[in-house]
Amino acid sequence: MIENLMVGFQMAIQPGNLLLIALGTALGVFVGAMPGLSSTTGLAIVLPFTFMLNPIPAFLMMISLYMAAEYGGSITAIAIGVPGTPPAVPTTFDGYPLTKKGQCGKALGVSILSSTLGGVFGTIILILACGPISTFALKFGPAEYCALGIFGLSIVGNLVEGSVVKGFISVIIGLLFCVVGVDVLSGYPRFTFEILGLLDGIHLIPALIGFFAISEVFKLIEESGVLKRVTEKVSGKLPSLKEMRGLAVTILRSSAIGATVGAVPGAGATIASLIAYNETKRMSKTPEKFGTGVIEGVSAPEAANNASVGGAMIPLLTLGIPGSGSTAILLGGLMLHGMKPGPLLMSEHPELIYTIYIGFFVAEFFMLTVGLLGIPLWVKLISLRSSRLTPLILGISLIGSYALGNSIFDMIMAVFFGALGYLMRRFGYPLAPAVLALVLGFIVETNYRRALSISGGDHMVFLTEPISLVLIVLAVATFVIPAVRSYRRKQKATD
């Protein structure tokens, strides 16, 4: 293995390949940061150009773009409260509050450092644990996917501050939007009101943009008579070494979660980052501070979503199974260059595989450089006056929601969710649980019904499958423990 890695290293550091990695990284950061664009969009655009290249340089460029886009989503999530990609959703929970406290530089610094370290961890897992993890990932069936979705939803208990009832109403609202569209199992249209655009269901990106960005635009308009800037004090100061050392356990744990969840086809970076955020909050000594702007709340999802890239490559390289849109495009790239993805790829093209491994490390270094150099630019952006920054947020949100499907209907959806999100915030209904439900609701319902179709309606299938049982027990614990803790704290306070 060491010899193969050395060969991979020699190939990856050739000047032409280094240039392509740098280009892929810069492009990846950019598409990740822009709402409405994502690694899938970026990869789809560069794929035809890579046909002119040899397979190794082509892949180095694409994997760099893929890795950097996962980090890029955090930039706008932190700076202006708009997640650039769905995995950056939990980053907004603490990233944007940090910006409002004037600590944008610290938040962005924590994000890039955690993303880099998470990416390195995910790559190490990819190199060492390819076989065992792919075997584990293949054991996921409908019951396991449903349990994973429920486990993801269980973090609601940790996201709700204030009225718990309103938090759960928020979840139900999010889940209700998931049932809109043609039911995939029966083919029957549900709550479409004969609107063509709704047959496909509610697209996630316009809903996220609406909930986070456009509702924030309305809130900033409301405050425009009072606040001149999103935050009056803006600091580009990076996190200290002591602060980063304090994040070591968070990064390690979140990276492990990211790499494992990322290896499950269809689970992806979004679920990985949500679970990592929840686990970090659950294990924190001060969970009540999450959501108000703590660096652990930025570090956890960012480490997880970059580690999930390494995890997602495991089923792709070992089994030829793409776990997401991005890995599906990478699969297409492999086939475009005449390679047959699957178990024999490693033995037939070892030079490609080991160069990809080293390429990830090099891409992470370039991502760190691009990320750190870009921080002053983003800090400058958010110090603009509110009357100038807010319209830019509105503009990029509308363009971003259109860009996904070239559809004005998606823009309409984004504005609808923006108005709904503003009203929800005004009347004390938290947005995070609704967003969580939107992300996970489809996985939960579809796999719940599939599992029961296979088992003939027997609900015991969720408890007899070992992986499903473990996930459900964890979900119950995640749900119950914070409630018990909160009750005990209230009892102590009254005593």
Partner 1 sequence: MVRISDLITACLLIVLSIYIFHETSLYPEPFIEGAPGASAFPNVLAFCLIVLSVILIIDSFRHKSERVDSTNWKAIAKISIDLILIIAFLVILEFWDIFILMPLLLAATMFIMGEKSIKAIILLPLAFDLFVYVVFYRMFHVMLPTIYF
**Site residues, partner 1 (CB under 8 A):** 31, 34, 37, 41, 45, 163, 165-166, 168-169, 172, 175-176, 179, 183, 185-186, 188, 190-191, 217-218, 220-225, 385-388, 390-392, 394-395, 398-399, 402-403, 406, 408, 411-412, 415, 419, 422, 427, 445, 448-449, 452-453, 456-458
74 close to 86: Cβ distance less than 8 angstroms:
no
Are 215 and 393 contacting, i.e. CB atoms less than 8 angstroms apart?
A: no
Neighbours of 92 (CB within 10 A): 30
- To the nearest whole angstrom, how small is the minimum distance from the Cβ of residue 313 to partner 1? 25
Closest CA to 82 of 25, 27, 37: 37
Nearer to partner 1, 139 or 426 (CB): 426
Q: How far is the CB of 182 from partner 1 (least distance, A)?
A: 10
Euclidean distance between CA atoms 84 and 76, whole angstroms: 6
Rounded Cα–Cα distance for residues 105 and 36 (Å) = 24
User: From the CB of 409, what's the least distance to partner 1, in Å?
Assistant: 9
Q: Which is closer to partner 1, CB of 103 or CB of 468? A: 468
Q: Helix, strand or coil for residue 244?
A: helix
In the bound complex, what is the minimum distance in angstroms from residue 292's beta carbon to partner 1? 21
Least distance from partner 1 to the Cβ atom of residue 179, Å: 5
Decide: helix, strand or coil at residue 56: helix
From the number of C-beta atoms within 10 Å of its C-beta (0-12, 13-18, 19+), residue 406 rates as exposed
Residue closer to partner 1 (CB basis): 176 or 467 = 176
DSSP state of 189: E
**Least distance CB 289 / partner 1 (angstroms):** 26
What gap in Å lies between CA 260 and CA 153, rounded to an integer?
A: 18
Q: Which two tokens stand for residue 124?
A: 């190490």
Closer by beta carbon to partner 1, 10 or else 453: 453
- Looking at the Cβ atoms of 368 and 420, the one nearer to partner 1 is 420
**Residue whose CB is less far from partner 1, 3 or 427:** 427
- 122 close to 262: Cβ distance less than 8 angstroms: yes
Q: Name the helix (H) or strand (E) containing 181.
A: strand 181-182
CB of 348 or CB of 458, closer to partner 1: 458
Range 238-252 burial, b when 16+ CB lie within 10 A, else e = bbeeeebeebeebbe
| Cα–Cα distance measured from residue 409 to residue 228, given in angstroms and rounded to the nearest whole number | 33
Give me the least distance between CB of 432 and partner 1, in Å please: 17
Nearer to partner 1, 459 or 485 (CB): 459
Quick one: tokens of 55?
Answer: 């397979």
Identify residue 85 by its one-letter amino acid code: T
Contact 362, 13 (CB under 8 A): yes
Q: Answer yes or no: are the C-beta atoms of 475 and 151 closer than 8 Å.
A: yes
CB of 306 to partner 1, least distance (A): 23
3 state DSSP class of 162:
coil
The residue (of 9 and 402) whose beta carbon lies closer to partner 1 is 402
Q: Minimum CB separation from partner 1 for residue 167, in Å?
A: 10
CA atoms 153, 157, 159, 164: torsion sign: positive
Q: Which is nearer to partner 1, 324 or 386 (CB)?
A: 386
The span from the CA of 444 to the CA of 150, in Å, is 6
User: Smallest distance from the beta carbon of 413 to partner 1, in angstroms?
Assistant: 11
To the nearest whole angstrom, how small is the minimum distance from the Cβ of residue 224 to partner 1? 4
The DSSP letter of residue 138 is: T
Minimum CB separation of residue 397 from partner 1 in Å reads 10
Closest CA to 378 of 99, 93, 44, 24: 99
Residue 27 or 321 with smaller CB distance to partner 1? 27
- The tokens for 37 are 């664009």
- Work out the burial of residue 427: count CB atoms within 10 Å of its CB; fewer than 13 is exposed, 13-18 middle, 19 or more buried: exposed
- Taking the least distance from each CB to partner 1, the nearer of 159 and 220 is 220
